Amino acid sequence: MDHKCIDKILEKYGHQESSIIAILQDLQEEENYLPENDLAYISENLPIPLTRIYRIATFYNAFNLTPRGKYPVSVCMGTACHVRGAPMVFDRVRLELGIDIGGVTEDGLFSLETVNCLGACALGPIVVIGKEYHGNMTPAKVESTIKKYRKRIAKEK
């Protein structure tokens, strides 16, 4: 990310050490992950050692240190979702996107991960794309759901 953008984020929070979590959230919102060079820049411009920033970034599951797609795809593999067919849904998502766990599609739009529970067990199996929940997912619904996102993205361009 351009250092000017990071400077704006730091200014937004008054270069306050106590705002580090909010600063990292804003950075991740822009980049979809926390790039190493950006974390180093933040450390240089705040009174926070880089090792402390990494401890914070690795402690919270909300932060990612590796690139993610614009629309992360999370497949719940919790017990309720698992017994309702989540492994088959996951396999279909993996095939549809052409990536494995931790991968990012070539166009940078989607990344794939599994989660242990999304707290929506009654809707299982559940898939989250971006910030939208898709409940009662089946392998047959996966293709059409991802196609809807691709169409929506194409219209936004």
Secondary structure, 3-state, the chain: CCHHHHHHHHHHCCCCHHHHHHHHHHHHHHHCCCCHHHHHHHHHHCCCCHHHHHHHHHHCCCCCCCCCCCEEEEEECCHHHHHCCHHHHHHHHHHHHCCCCCCECCCCCEEEEEECCCCCHHHCCCEEECCEEECCCCHHHHHHHHHHHHHHHHHHC
Question: Residue 2 has what pLDDT?
Answer: 83
Q: 65-123, pLDDT tens digit by residue?
A: 988 898 999 999 999 999 999 999 999 999 999 999 999 999 999 999 999 998 999 99
Q: Which residue has the tokens 């970034």?
A: 57
Specify the pairing of strand 127-129 against strand 132-134: antiparallel
Output the six-digit token pair for 141.
């619904």
Q: What angle do CA 42, 34, 25 make, to 5 degrees?
A: 80
Contact (Cβ atoms closer than 8 angstroms) between residue 65 and residue 34: yes
Share of the chain above pLDDT 90, in %: 84
- pTM of the predicted model as reported, rounded to 2 decimal places: 0.75
Domains of the chain from N-terminus onward: 3-59 (no CATH), 71-156 (3.40.30.10)
Rounded distance, CA 96 to CA 91, Å? 9
Q: Would you place residue 56 in the very low, low, confident or very high pLDDT band (cuts 50, 70, 90)?
A: very high
